[in-house]
Structure 1
Amino acid sequence: MSPVPLTVRGAEKLRAELHEMKTVQRPAVIAAIAEARAHGDLSENAEYEAAKEKQGFIEGRIAELEAKLSNAQIINPTLLNADGACVFGATIDLKDMDSDVAVTYQIVGDDEADIKEGKISISSPISRALIGKYAGDIAVVEAPGGIREYEILDVKYI
C-alpha cells in the first residue's frame, strides 16, 4: 500500500474511529450475534444474518483503518516551510473569478475531505490545480461542471 497523506487532525479522527470500532461496535455486534444464536435455528434467522453481515463490515473497516494508519504519512501544516506555495495541508484563500465569491479551503487527504468544513481532497481537481501555485496566481480548474478560474489570495500553514 502506498503512503496515505494525512494531517495531524485527520490521523486523530481515524484513530478515534478505529478505537470506537474496536471498543464499542465490535463488542456490540458480538453480543447481537450471541443473542441471535440463542433464538435457535440459524438457517432462517434474519437477526443472525444481519448481525453477521454487520460484523463483516466492522471487521473490514477495522482492517482498512489499521492499514491506512500504518501507512500514514502524517503532515503537520504548522511545521511546513513551503515559502508560500500551495502544498498538502495548506489553507488557501481563493476568489472565484466568475462570481467574485471568496472561499477558503484546506488541502487534506482523501479520508479527511469534507467540503462543508472547507477541506478538499488532495486528489480533487481543484487541489491538483492549486498545488505549486502562490498567492497572486490564477488557478485554472477543469471541473466536471466546466472550467473555473480562481485567484489565490493567501496561503497559510495553520
Structure 2
Amino acid sequence: MRTPSLSDTAIAHLRKASVHPDGHLPTNVSRKLLNLFLEEKYAYRNDSDGFVREGKEALTDLTSSGASAQPSIITLEGRRAALTEGQLTALDEGVESDGRMARTVPWPTAHALARLLLVEFRDELGEPSPGDGIPYRTALGKAVTETR
C-alpha cells in the first residue's frame, strides 16, 4: 500500500507521471521530492547513454553545467504508491480471470483507474470504448498489482 509519509503533492506528481505517455514526472518536482522518489524507487533516471542511475547519482546531471537533464520516469512502484487503498484493492482483488473488473467495483473507482491507464473500457465485442463500456484491467494495471 501507499507509504504514509507521501504528501498530497507527492501523490499528485506521481499521478501526473502516471498519465504522461512516457511516464515522465513533471519538471516542477522539487529536488527533495525527486530524491525521495528515486530513493524509494518510485522513479528512475537514465544517464545520456540510457543506463539507469541509482540514488543520489541520478541527480548529478541536474546540477552540472551545460548538461541536459534526463527526465525522471515513474516506476511500477511509483504507480502503485499513487493509488488509494480502495483503488489498489479493486485493481488487485476486484478482477475476474479474463481481466474484467468485478461488478462490485464502484464506477468512480473504475474511471479513476482508467485515467491512470490501469483500466480500459471495452464494448460488448471487446473493442476499446473510451469512457463507456465494461472496465477491464490493462496489462499495465496487472503489472502494478504484481509489484512488491
Is this a same-fold pair by TM over 0.5?
no
Find the structure with the greater CA-based Rg.
1
| Normalised TM-score (structure 2) | 0.28
| Normalised TM-score (structure 1) | 0.27
Q: Write 1 or 2 for the structure with the bigger share of strand.
A: 1
